[in-house]
Chain A
Amino acid sequence: MTQPGEPAVRAAGLVKHFDGSDDTVEAVRGVDLEIQTGEIFGFLGRNGAGKSTTVHMLTTLLSITSGTAEVAGIDVTRDPDAVRQRIGVALQEAGLDPRQTGRELLTLHGRLFGLGRAEAAARTQELLELVELEEAADRVTKGYSGGMQRRLDLAAALVHEPEVLFLDEPTTGLDPVSRLTVWEEVRRINRHGTTVFLTTQYLEEADQLCDRLAIIDDGVIVREGTPAALKAELSQRRDGAEITLDDVFLDATGRSRDRAAGEVQEVGA
């Protein structure tokens, strides 16, 4: 297990190309990252900026065109199974098996991560309580609301107590109450020592939750630092003007507020 102060995620020159029938799309064009153990790290960008592609490479779901990546101290390409054992993943859409109950799904995940039958059942109960889904535990997930599905997805990602948790836009499409619940869960998970890598389009979410963040635009990182430091740097360049994270985002991506409308949203909980 990585120790505090050691990088939980390290990427150098990460590149991903997708070969189409006519051309090659360069989705990620040389991303360098270093996320310390115990951090909540935010990865911001508009749709198509390369956030999810980066997460998919770091979580072994996509091959890496070039560059290197280590998660929990393990090379993603050389030993993907060892990485999978140490990470939890909740992707953009809460991908749940619609024909299983919440309890069955969590128990299955426990078994697949190598827990014994009794251990998986106990862990399932613990997680159902954690995400407050005990009452709905024996209903098939198809009938869950969006918020319930997100919470179950989060619980499924935690079943094996991962060292690093990847959350790809965990609150997209959620109502304000569900969003706050997810935020609280993320903080609670992080307090237990889990490093959190979070992608989001919501600037306030990044401001509220993240220790540090990076802004990615057209496949390259254009800003990186703590929210306070990023705002202070821009404020200094603008003669002490009051700066929000969306000002930082717009400055970093070279977009005006008009152009960015609909790409990155300023949504409060």
Chain B
Amino acid sequence: MSATIALGIRSLREAVRQPDALFMTMFIPLFFLVVNTGQAAEIFPSDSTGFLEGQGYGAFQLPITLLLAASFGMAALFLVEEIEGGYFDKLRAMPIPRYSMVLGRLVAEAVKCIVISSVIVLVALPFGITIASGVIGFFLIVALSALWGVVYAGFMQLIALKTRSAAATNSGGLIFFPLLFLTPNFVPRDMLTRPMEIAATLNPVTYLMEALRSLILTDLDWGAILPGFAVLAGLGVIMLLLNVRMIKAYD
């Protein structure tokens, strides 16, 4: 475990030394929050749109902002850079658990996502968005966002380990478009067209988004929150098993 922590601290230092990357990670999702809200707020006025629970449309859009920010992690790109540059082999030649080489980066990703999602929520508050589930809800929102960031970064690391190519890893990152947008991100699931509703129902990210949305718009509703955590737990276990298997077989 100490190797994982040592490598995690190294990755955090790495992130701090790339402040421009951190800035863009927050700026782009906030930009989409402003644009999407600006475009659709007139269509969904808060006083006559039931699914907004009395809040503005920005509150409804906040989950996609958080998930987008958490999906912009740099862990896989830094990993593939390390593979291409030869430092990864240096780490592999050390007597450290193989899993620590992937977990170290994921630990750092979790810390980064906690900071980024906290900042985004805090930035949103002065613009009239409230967290209806209170302080507990705030922490659950941050936890869900950070765990999503870790799971997503873990799957990107798999692409990096498999392809060992920055270009392929970059391209693999584009998967977040269907994952994040085949969801009820503009309206609730029951208002989607039938094909979109089916796609959203099959997409695990939907349950995560609905968990986040319920924490923002309503009081603690475990019926909506728990499926979000369950999806993350399931994906997280699959991601970890695949990463460990991949790193052990790395030749």
B residues near A113, Cβ cutoff 8 Å: 94-95
Residues of A within 8 A of B87 (CB): 95-97
Please give, as numbers and ranges, the residues of chain A lying within 8 Å of B3 by CB-CB distance.
Answer: 111-112
Q: Indicate if A98 sits at the interface (CB-CB under 8 A).
A: yes
In the complex, whether A236 has a CB less than 8 A from a CB of chain B is: no
User: In whole angstroms, what is the CA distance A219 to B81 when docked?
Assistant: 30
Residues of B close to A108: CB separation below 8 A: 6-7, 10
Residues of B within 8 A of A114 (CB): 95
State in angstroms the CA–CA spacing of A87 and B92 once bound together: 12
Q: 1/0 per position for A74-102, CB-CB distance to B under 8 A?
A: 00000001101101010111111111100
- Would A99 and B93 be within 8 Å (CB), given that A108-B10, A112-B3 are in contact? no
How far apart are the CA atoms of A83 and B13 in the complex, in Å?
Answer: 30
Point out the residues of chain B lying under 8 angstroms from A59, CB to CB. 93
Say how far A118's CB is from chain B's closest CB, in angstroms.
15
| Surface stretch bound by B, among A27-35, A60-68, A124-132 | A60-68
A residues near B91, Cβ cutoff 8 Å: 112
Q: Decide: A60 and B93 in contact? CB cutoff 8 A.
A: yes
Determine the chain A residues whose CB is within 8 A of the CB of B17 once the complex forms: 99, 140
The answer to whether A91 and B86 touch across the interface, beta carbons within 8 angstroms, is: yes
Identify the closest chain A residue to B97 (Cβ).
A81
Taking the complex as formed, is A156 at the interface, i.e. its CB lies under 8 A from any CB of chain B? yes
CA distance A108 to B82 in the complex (A): 15
The reply to whether A84 and B94 form a contact with Cβ atoms under 8 Å apart is yes
Q: What is the size category of the interface that chain A forms with chain B?
A: 20 to 34
Do A89 and B93 form a contact, CB below 8 Å, given A62-B251, A97-B10, A112-B3? yes
**A223 surroundings in chain B (CB, below 8 A):** none
Are B95 and A99 in contact (CB-based, < 8 A)? no
| Interface assignment of A109: CB less than 8 Å from any CB of chain B | yes
Q: Which residues of A contact B85 (CB under 8 A)?
A: 93, 95-96, 98
Find out whether the CB atom of A99 lies under 8 angstroms from the CB atom of B14: yes
The CA of A112 and the CA of B7, in the complex, are separated in Å by: 9
Interface: A161 (CB within 8 A):
no
In the complex, are the beta carbons of A89 and B6 less than 8 A apart?
A: no
Q: Are B94 and A95 in contact (CB under 8 A)?
A: no
In the complex, which residues of chain A have a beta carbon less than 8 angstroms from the beta carbon of B2? 111
A99 x B18 contact (CB < 8 A): yes
List CB contacts (< 8 Å) of B7-60 with chain A.
Answer: 7, 10, 13-14, 17-18
Binary flags per residue of B163-182, CB closer than 8 Å to A gives 1, else 0: 00000000000000000000
Docked complex Cα distance between A59 and B225 (Å): 48
| A134 proximal to B (CB < 8 A) | no
Contacts of B89 in A (CB 8 A): 61, 89, 91, 95
- Distance between B23 CB and nearest chain A CB, rounded to angstroms: 17
**Bound-state Cα–Cα, A63 to B91, Å:** 16
Residues of A within 8 A of B81 (CB): 98
Shortest CB-to-CB span from A200 to chain B, Å, is 18
Check B93 against A94 for contact (C-beta < 8 Å).
no
Output the nearest chain B residue to A98 by Cβ-Cβ distance. B85
- Apart from A60-B92, A87-B93, A96-B85, list 11 A-B contacts with CB within 8 A: A61-B93, A85-B95, A91-B86, A92-B86, A95-B86, A95-B90, A96-B90, A97-B82, A112-B6, A112-B96, A140-B17
24 contacts between A and B (CB under 8 A): A63-B251, A82-B95, A84-B93, A85-B95, A87-B93, A89-B89, A89-B90, A91-B90, A93-B85, A93-B86, A95-B82, A95-B86, A95-B87, A96-B90, A97-B10, A97-B14, A97-B82, A99-B18, A104-B10, A109-B94, A111-B3, A111-B6, A113-B95, A114-B95
Q: Which B residues form the contact surface with A (CB < 8 A)?
A: 2-3, 6-7, 10, 13-14, 17-18, 81-82, 85-96, 251
